[in-house]
């Protein structure tokens, strides 16, 4: 009897965790729709995809794509949506990012280089779970003003 209760408890916990993750609008792979996006300064990347996944009690964000010159791009961030800085691996323009979840459909992202804020972004996820709009402002590492609106589609 004790064993049955433990097994049922594990099943119930697994189901609850699965529902919690399924309810997270950020989870999944999001591909940039370059034609429906605006990049200032340009030029836009040739392709870009962002994957959000649970990693233990953290989130893992992986960016893969090809920049405007055809060079592969890859970087990773692992942390919590708690507004604290966590290191970024593989991005020459960013040392740390912080993610903060405002509600079920909105994330704020602050990117830093050498401890200085370079860009701030707001990601808004559609209620139907099909699109993500990322608005980014600030300056790039060369000091140029950044004002991007990027549309992502869930894969």
Tokens of 42: 């340009």
- Inter-CA distances, 147 with 94, 119, 134, 136, Å: 17, 9, 11, 6
pLDDT on residue 1? 62
Does the pLDDT of residue 14 top 70, yes or no? no
User: Using one digit for the tens of pLDDT, what is the confidence trace for 87-114?
Assistant: 999 999 999 999 999 999 999 999 999 9
Alpha helices in 36-122 (DSSP H): none
Residue 75 · residue 84 · CB < 8 Å = no
Residue 86 · residue 96 · CB < 8 Å = yes
Within 8 A by CB and 6+ apart from 77, the residues are 60, 61, 86, 87, 88, 89, 97, 99
pTM over 0.85, yes/no: no
Confidence class for position 141, pLDDT limits 50, 70, 90: confident
* Domains observed in the chain: 25-154 (2.40.128.20)
Q: What is the dihedral of CA 142, 144, 148, 150, to 10 degrees?
A: -20
DSSP secondary-structure letter at 35?
G
Mean predicted lDDT score pLDDT of the chain: 90
């Amino acid at each position: 009897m004790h064993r049955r209760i433990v097994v049922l408890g594990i099943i119930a916990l697994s189901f609850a965790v699965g529902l919690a993750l399924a309810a997270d609008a950020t989870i999944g792979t999001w591909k940039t729709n370059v034609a429906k996006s605006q990049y200032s300064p340009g030029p836009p990347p040739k392709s870009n995809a962002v994957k959000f996944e649970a990693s233990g009690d953290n989130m893992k964000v992986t960016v893969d794509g090809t920049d405007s010159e055809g060079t592969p791009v890859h970087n990773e961030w692992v942390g919590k949506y708690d507004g604290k800085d966590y290191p970024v691996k593989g991005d020459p323009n960013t040392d740390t990012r912080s993610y903060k979840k405002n509600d079920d459909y909105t994330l704020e992202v602050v990117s830093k280089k050498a401890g200085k804020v370079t860009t701030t972004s707001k990601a808004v996820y559609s209620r139907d779970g099909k699109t993500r709009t990322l608005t980014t402002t600030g300056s790039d590492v060369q000091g140029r003003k950044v004002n991007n609106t990027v549309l992502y589609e869930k894969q």
